[in-house]
Structure 1
Amino acid sequence: MSMRFEQVSVRFGRTQVLHEVSLEVPDGSIMGLVGESGSGKSTLARAAVGLVPVSTGRVLVDGVPAGRRSGVQMVFQDPYSSLDPRMSIGESIAEAIPGRTSKSERAGEVARLLRLVHLDPGRAGQRPGSLSGGQRQRVALARALAGRPQVLIADEITSALDVSVQGAVLNLVREMQRELGLSMLFISHNLAVVRYVADTVAVMSHGHIVEHGPAADVLENPSHRYTQELLAAVPGGTSNTLTKET
């Protein structure tokens, strides 16, 4: 399932944050969206799931306005605030499962989802406060997958994590995308992270898409000056921070 932004603009009061953004997240692939803080990346993500009103334009999922069908889920940046501390992680995941199912069926689905994100199903009764940041982000991913999305939006999901656990979460993202055939919009300011996970890359600056294309082309031979400046600002380039597993 693909997601397409058609001439999407967002305005907050007198400030226009997005300027007629057109972008397509191809079916079954990961589109990386990169740019500096304040470039409009997260606003575009929130517009896609209805958390921010679109001033003009529209967001389509397989040709249908996104608001008219489910199938899009979002994972947020901060794993510490994305889960209700009063609920067990199993309850948080079960809450997101659509339809009416029995208690035993929900428990079975929670266990399946926890295994999918490489967490012990026996931890379902624990509260988020007993988990590390990386474990909480895995639970947030499991909760998003509980909604059975065909498009997943990941907004800076590793930026709040220690460097030591970022790679494990990124490997999990790539594994889930391959196994489930998800289309994914992966947002990050970190070029190395985007290069690690993305098939295609779009670069955003001041609410505009200034460059997009295959990840290797954009990040190894950028045509836009802004992209060139982003790459020049990365110590040692983007190639030696993370190495893809095959």
Structure 2
Amino acid sequence: MSELFFDRVSVRYGHHLAVDDVSLVVPHGQVVGLVGESGSGKSTLAATAVGLVPVTSGQVLVDGERDRRRRVQMVFQDPYSSLDPRMSIGGSIAEGMPRGVDKKAEVARLLELVNLDPGRASSLPARLSGGQRQRVALARALAGRPEVVIADEITSALDVSVQGAVLNLVRDLQRRLGLSMLFISHNLAVVRYVSDRIAVMKDGRIVEEGPAARVLAEPGHEYTRELLAAAPRRHARLEVS
């Protein structure tokens, strides 16, 4: 288990300040739900953790160290574009494995871990449903044996009927593997279900952060209250168990 720390991170695109002096901790073995509307900067912040977006100022650390190679892995929103359509799902998973691993056996183990038949390893992504592809994307992220996982809107492209099963899987994997996780969503019903702590982001800044129970029961910021007021109507059909 490891701690991910965004230390006064800012990201600027030209004249636009997408992330503004954000400090946020993802504690050892916990899930921090990062919630905010589209354009709030939450995905940009997440991308800094895996080096996809350079920081303008500040730093991102894992256990106090800047070197995050392999220690942090990301699962992306769109399961259709995150996998190479020409590569078997087993090949996609094996790409991220460290050297010296029995790749065939490890692919089988990871597919079982995400509740997919290991016999599907030779299948191409086109033969899988959206929910199955997102499970493969999870397995691919875990192949690198990360200590921290970033999950960026991973259920938003899925049918509502599939979202609950994927959320149950994410929660189970995080607990079984002891992962630290930053779980990003605009959907407060989803964040409520998986998170130990919740951070609320608006216009590039964290406007509220704390234990999930406290933020949901006693929100301190008007924007959080607006998100909570909208959530029951917007996400009434989401069902998880």
Instruction: Return the TM-score normalized by structure 1.
Output: 0.94
- Structure 1 residue 191 displacement after superposition: 0.2
Tell me the secondary structure at the aligned position of residue 157 of structure 1. Answer: coil
- Structure 1 residue 173 displacement after superposition: 0.3
Q: Which amino acid aligns with 1:192?
A: A
- Structure 1 residue 36 displacement after superposition: 0.2
- Structure 1 residue 216 displacement after superposition: 1.2
Q: Which amino acid aligns with 1:84?
A: D
Deviations 1:156-208 (A, max 9, x none): 00000000000000000000001100000000000000000001000000000
Equivalent pairs: percent with the same residue?
69
- Structure 1 residue 32 displacement after superposition: 0.2
- 2:120 equivalent among 119, 123, 142: 123
Structure 1 stretches (4+) deviating beyond 2 angstroms? 234-243
Tell me the secondary structure at the aligned position of residue 82 of structure 2. Answer: coil
Is 1:231 the counterpart of 2:228 in the alignment?
yes
Tell me the secondary structure at the aligned position of residue 110 of structure 2. Answer: helix
- Structure 1 residue 236 displacement after superposition: 4.8
Tell me the secondary structure at the aligned position of residue 232 of structure 2. Answer: coil
Tell me the secondary structure at the aligned position of residue 83 of structure 1. Answer: coil
Is 1:57 the counterpart of 2:54 in the alignment?
no
Q: 1:3 to 1:160 in 2, by over 3 A?
A: same
2: CA distance, partners of 1:238 / 1:128: 29
Tell me the secondary structure at the aligned position of residue 5 of structure 2. Answer: strand
Q: Which amino acid aligns with 2:83?
A: L
Specify the alignment match of 1:90 in structure 2: 90
Q: 1:95 to 1:24 in 2, by over 3 A?
A: same
CA contact (8 A) 1:2 1:25 kept: yes
Tell me the secondary structure at the aligned position of residue 124 of structure 1. Answer: helix
Matched ranges for 1:1-246 at <5 A: 1-67=2-68, 69-101=69-101, 105-236=102-233, 241-243=238-240, 245=241
Q: Which amino acid aligns with 2:14?
A: G
- Structure 1 residue 238 displacement after superposition: 7.2
5+ residue gaps, structure 1, are none
Tell me the secondary structure at the aligned position of residue 73 of structure 1. Answer: strand
Tell me the secondary structure at the aligned position of residue 34 of structure 2. Answer: strand
Tell me the secondary structure at the aligned position of residue 231 of structure 2. Answer: coil
> What is the total number of aligned residue pairs between the two structures?
240
Tell me the secondary structure at the aligned position of residue 11 of structure 2. Answer: strand
- Structure 1 residue 242 displacement after superposition: 4.0
5+ residue gaps, structure 2, are none
- Structure 1 residue 241 displacement after superposition: 4.4
1: CA distance, partners of 2:11 / 2:136: 31
